[in-house]
Amino acid sequence: MLEEHKNVGGHLDVKSSAYKTKLGVRMFLVYLVIYFGFVVINSVKPSLMGIHIGGVNLAIVYGMGLIVLALMMAMIYTHLCSKEEAKHGESDKGGSA
Amino acid sequence: MNYEPSYLAIGIFLTFVAFVIWLSFYLARRTRSAAGYYAAGGRIHWSVNGIAFAGDYLSAASFLGICGMIATVGYDGFLYSIGYLAGWIVALFVVAEPMKRMGKYTFTDALDSKFQSKGIQLMAALSTLIVSMFYLIPQMVGAGALVKPLLGIPRDWGVIIVGSTVIIIVATAGMVSTTYVQFLKGGLLIVFSTVLVIALFTRGIDNTPDPGGGKKFHELKTLEAELGDDGTLVIPDTTYVVPPDWDKTPYWEKGFIKLFEDCTDCALPLVWRVEKNSPTKFTLTETLFVTVMEEGTVFYNGAAKEKHKFFQVGHLSEIRQDGKVVTETEPLGPVSFLKTIRDSTAVLWGKEIIKDGTDKVSVYYQKPTSGEQVMRPGLKFKVGGAPIETVNFISLMLALFFGTAALPHILIRYYTVKSPASARKSTIVAIAAIGFFYILTMYLGLGAMVNGVVDITDNNMSAPLLARSFGSFLFSVITAIAFATVLGTVSGLIIASTGAIAHDILDKLMGLRLSERAQVISGKVSAVLVGCIAIILGIVFKGMNVSFLVGWAFAVAASANLPSIIMLLFWKKTTKRGIAASIGVGIVSAVGLILFSPSMYVRYGKLASDAPFALDNPGIISIPLSFITLVVVSLLTQKNAASVKQNNRAEA
């Protein structure tokens, strides 16, 4: 059986929750900084977006890079969460409400 | 524009849409209970759910709006792609897990599991309704734009057809059908967009692109004119006659001139753009113009619609490859396609509105733009220009980033998967599919820009019209998928709205202890009501870029819901009053600022510069305002909250 308990808020908790929440917030902050780097360059020095990089320019590389980075970080996050859940012996069905 | 319908296209289109509707009816038979209606009983596989997420999210806005915006203003349209996708990071990393653990069917339930408060129930249900409405508008506008070139019928009919179809689907079926239907069309949309992009690469770029659909590329004319000694304007080409009052018209003040042409079809003189080369020498370039007479008659390039004087636009005026000017290229790859456009010059189109007596004339004029500018932000959101434009840009990027996690129709899918682990896997599948598609939008938009397919009066149709340049089959399939995309997204939104009305307001808030059967019936009645309102709004907002409209929905969602979701999960001092106030302030400030924005003033028929609020995107003000409200009200109501919580627990 899963070690779950109902807390004051009424939702179910499992052991890996705290880890997953912390990890999620940290990875979110990393992405946030990179995303706002893009916004800041466009706001402060837009001409920088025009510099050529391998046939295209910084705008294309940074913009498409943000999309690819989102996917890569999402995969890393999922992998780490699953590892943590396995450590606590929580199955895929863990935490269903 | 006037379009000739193609019967093959209509045949494929109707077959596809009929199949989608049949599928909904077929799957509906499995859904009887209220739980099944709202959340598919939590029994949908994560991979199916992931693509369905993508199907939900890749709405008319993604496919039609972004491509249309890129086709007309270049990179700035791609900002929406970046922002929409980045928003998933907030959804996955911050909101997905805790929400899944807390919620049952709706956003309201998630809040409600923490605070048993009628105020919160009401505010959250209202916010779901309003955000859904804002998100419904662009879907309906997109639907109207879609059927126009396909069926050759007016836009309003498209809106009515989509509205009625969705009302039938939602009122008879429910969530199960829409999940599988979303899965199907989300997958098809990505597959066929890929096919279209490959076809685009294979074709290469041509100076005189063939727009397809039985039309030829329109060669834009240029005239030389000289000021004579007697004050007349002399044009060597005798096809054109200069009227005597040529420099005393409202056209001349804005850099245009009226010329009479030897033409039997024309009811009105032509409008040309004037460029001054020297005090006595001018170059005149062709424009496209739409004249709306006082009584409502509309002329396209000075002639009735049926005379086909209007043409599709978009081409490179000069193609440069490796420093050499060429007239056409070999097949290109993903990088060389972008590189060629970067090094070339594209003809984009500016717009000017001129009052000529009682006539309102919209003139679209040529604006040759270097590829360097097309490939970076700045043509729509003029970064590096006035500070207010930069703020507008930041505001948009903020709303897109934080809006995704706060959309009611996205959140509802978290509950259709069994566990947080499954929800996570669904989200990965969704991000991969959506990210790939968004990269394709760049190519589709630029492809439309250089292939002479853009309808300058409504750029929402750029991607499907690009498909038409490859033949009827690809055109009808892509239009049918896009139409189904609209159907799916609209039904998802209507379900979220009916959930808010039937489940939250009627059942919980008003305390009507409805039987399961009565719940389902009240859900269906709400679906019909919401659908009818959506139809009306779709007609009111026609012609606006749908991606821009979605930007507003994101801003409202981020302002109304996000502060509550985030603070509820991460700040222990959050109180129910804080949440209710934050949602209220978020809705009122975001919607209020939109109503007073320059873009809305243009809708009201006034001048954009008269708008009391200079920003088109409210997020930068309304999101922080909603956060601050939550914190301040929560801090002020600390004691109150504790005692109420105890009371609630005692009652329970």
List the structure tokens of B499.
Answer: 């959930």
Residues in chain B with CB shorter than 8 Å from the CB of A71 are 428, 431-432, 435
Instruction: Give the pLDDT confidence score for residue B417 in this predicted structure.
Output: 64
Q: CB of B224 within 8 Å of any CB in chain A? A: no
Instruction: Give the pLDDT confidence score for residue B322 in this predicted structure.
Output: 86
Taking the C-alpha atoms of residue B556 and residue B483, their distance in angstroms, rounded to an integer, is: 25
Taking the C-alpha atoms of residue A34 and residue A61, their distance in angstroms, rounded to an integer, is: 13
List the structure tokens of B227.
Answer: 């000021």
A55, A67, A78 member nearest B82 (Cβ): A67
Contact B414, B423 (CB under 8 A): yes
Residues 384-413 of B with CB under 8 A from A: 384, 390, 393-394, 397, 401
Q: B364 in a domain, yes or no?
A: no
Q: Note the ipTM here.
A: 0.84
A11, A74, A95 member nearest B428 (Cβ): A74
Q: For strand B222-227 and strand B324-326, is the pairing parallel, antiparallel, or unpaired? A: unpaired
List the structure tokens of B121.
Answer: 């129930």
Q: CB of A1 within 8 Å of any CB in chain B? A: no
B100, B427, B569 member nearest A74 (Cβ): B427
Nearest to B408 by CA among B494, B483, B486, B485: B494
Contact B439, A67 (CB under 8 A): yes
**A-chain residue closest to B394, CA distance:** A39
Cβ contact A94–B394 (<8 Å): no
Contact B421, B38 (CB under 8 A): no
pLDDT tens by residue, B323-379:
899 998 999 999 999 999 999 999 999 988 888 888 889 999 999 999 999 999 888
B81, B339, B397 member nearest A39 (Cβ): B397
Taking the C-alpha atoms of residue B452 and residue B608, their distance in angstroms, rounded to an integer, is: 30
Q: Which residues of B19-30 are buried (b: 16+ CB within 10 A; e: fewer)?
A: ebbebbeebbee
Contact B157, B538 (CB under 8 A): no
Nearest to B34 by CA among B448, B514, B526: B514
CA B227 to chain centre: 46
CA distance A64 to chain B (A): 7
Tell me the CA distances in angstroms from B290 to B287, B524, B547, one per residue in order.
10, 42, 24
Check residue B208 and report its DSSP letter: S
Taking the C-alpha atoms of residue B1 and residue A55, their distance in angstroms, rounded to an integer, is: 37
* Contacts with B651 (C-beta within 8 Å, 6 or more apart), sequence order: none
Task: Evaluate the CA torsion angle B31, B37, B42, B44 in order and state its sign.
Answer: positive
Most confident of A9-18, A47-56, B490-499: A47-56
Q: CB of A94 within 8 Å of any CB in chain B? A: yes
DSSP for B370-416 reads EHHHHTSS-SSS-TTS-HHHHHHHHHHHHHHHHHGGG-HHHHHHHTT
Taking the C-alpha atoms of B198, B203, B205 and B207 in order, what is their torsion angle to the nearest 10 degrees? -150
**B-chain residue closest to A65, CA distance:** B82
Residue B517: give the domain boundaries. Answer: 8-205+384-651
Domain count along chain B: 1
Taking the C-alpha atoms of residue B404 and residue B88, their distance in angstroms, rounded to an integer, is: 6
Nearest to A28 by CA among B640, B201, B562: B562
Contact B352, B256 (CB under 8 A): yes
Instruction: Give the pLDDT confidence score for residue A11 in this predicted structure.
Output: 43
Check residue B428 and report its DSSP letter: H
Residues in chain B with CB shorter than 8 Å from the CB of A93 are 418-419
Taking the C-alpha atoms of residue B181 and residue B142, their distance in angstroms, rounded to an integer, is: 19
Through-space distance between the first and last CA atoms of chain A, rounded to whole angstroms: 15
B102, B335, B421 member nearest A85 (Cβ): B421
**A-chain residue closest to B569, CA distance:** A21
Cβ contact B104–A97 (<8 Å): yes
Instruction: Give the pLDDT confidence score for residue B651 in this predicted structure.
Output: 43
The three-state secondary structure class of B295 is coil
Taking the C-alpha atoms of residue B146 and residue B166, their distance in angstroms, rounded to an integer, is: 16
pLDDT tens by residue, B384-402:
778 888 898 999 999 999 9
Residues 428-467 of B with CB under 8 A from A: 428, 431-432, 435, 438-439, 442
Q: Is residue A93 predicted with pLDDT exceeding 50?
A: no
Taking the C-alpha atoms of A54, A55, A59 and A60 in order, what is their torsion angle to the nearest 10 degrees? -100
Helix runs in B204-268, H state only = 250-253
Instruction: Give the pLDDT confidence score for residue B116 in this predicted structure.
Output: 77
Instruction: Give the pLDDT confidence score for residue B163 in this predicted structure.
Output: 84
Contact B402, A77 (CB under 8 A): no
Taking the C-alpha atoms of residue A83 and residue A16, their distance in angstroms, rounded to an integer, is: 10
Residues in chain A with CB shorter than 8 Å from the CB of B98 are 11, 21
Residues in chain B with CB shorter than 8 Å from the CB of A11 are 98, 101-102, 113-114
Q: Residue B571, Cβ neighbours under 10 Å: how many?
A: 13
Contact B444, B67 (CB under 8 A): yes
Cβ contact B75–A63 (<8 Å): yes
Cβ contact B113–A10 (<8 Å): yes
Contact B254, B352 (CB under 8 A): yes
Cβ contact A95–B420 (<8 Å): yes
Check residue B206 and report its DSSP letter: B
**B-chain residue closest to A58, CA distance:** B376
Taking the C-alpha atoms of residue B272 and residue B347, their distance in angstroms, rounded to an integer, is: 16
CATH number at residue B491: 1.20.1730.10
DSSP for B433-494 reads HHHHHHHHHHHHHHHHHHTT-B-TT-GGGHHHHHHHTT-HHHHHHHHHHHHHHHHHHHHHHH
Q: For strand B240-241 and strand A52-53, is the pairing parallel, antiparallel, or unpaired? A: unpaired
**For chain B, which ranges sit under pLDDT 70?**
1-4, 24-25, 27-43, 60-61, 99-110, 172-178, 408-420, 507-509, 511-514, 639-652
pTM confidence score: 0.87
Task: Evaluate the CA torsion angle B159, B164, B168, B170 in order and state its sign.
Answer: positive
CA B212 to chain centre: 25
Q: For strand B240-241 and strand B315-321, is the pairing parallel, antiparallel, or unpaired? A: unpaired
Q: CB of B101 within 8 Å of any CB in chain A? A: yes
Cβ contact A28–B89 (<8 Å): yes
A46, A66, A97 member nearest B378 (Cβ): A46
Cβ contact B89–A49 (<8 Å): no
Contact B495, B30 (CB under 8 A): no
Query: At CA B142, angle to CA B136 and CA B146, rounded to 5?
Result: 145
Helix runs in A45-87, H state only = 58-87
Contact B59, B542 (CB under 8 A): no
Residue A2's pLDDT band (cuts 50, 70, 90): very low
List the structure tokens of B310.
Answer: 């209007």
**A-chain residue closest to B649, CA distance:** A8
Taking the C-alpha atoms of residue B186 and residue B54, their distance in angstroms, rounded to an integer, is: 6
Q: CB of B424 within 8 Å of any CB in chain A? A: yes
Task: Evaluate the CA torsion angle B340, B341, B343, B344 in order and state its sign.
Answer: positive
Interface test with chain A among B376, B442, B565, by most A beta carbons within 10 Å: B376
Cα-trace Rg, chain A? 19
Taking the C-alpha atoms of residue A22 and residue A67, their distance in angstroms, rounded to an integer, is: 23
CA distance A61 to chain B (A): 11
Strand (E) or helix (H) holding B289: strand B281-292
Instruction: Give the pLDDT confidence score for residue B457 in this predicted structure.
Output: 86
Q: B55 in a domain, yes or no?
A: yes
CA A54 to chain centre: 28
The three-state secondary structure class of B141 is helix
Q: CB of B98 within 8 Å of any CB in chain A? A: yes
A13, A21, A42 member nearest B377 (Cβ): A42
Taking the C-alpha atoms of residue B589 and residue B625, their distance in angstroms, rounded to an integer, is: 8
CA distance B86 to chain A (A): 6
Residue type, B49: N
Contact B141, B542 (CB under 8 A): yes
Taking the C-alpha atoms of residue B552 and residue B544, their distance in angstroms, rounded to an integer, is: 12
B86, B338, B427 member nearest A56 (Cβ): B338
Q: B320 in a domain, yes or no?
A: no
B384, B394, B424 member nearest A39 (Cβ): B394
| Annotated domain spans of chain A | 17-87
Residues 6-45 of A with CB under 8 A from B: 9-13, 17, 20-21, 24-25, 27-28, 31, 35, 38-39, 42-43
Residue type, B216: K
Strand (E) or helix (H) holding B223: strand B222-227
**A-chain residue closest to B46, CA distance:** A92
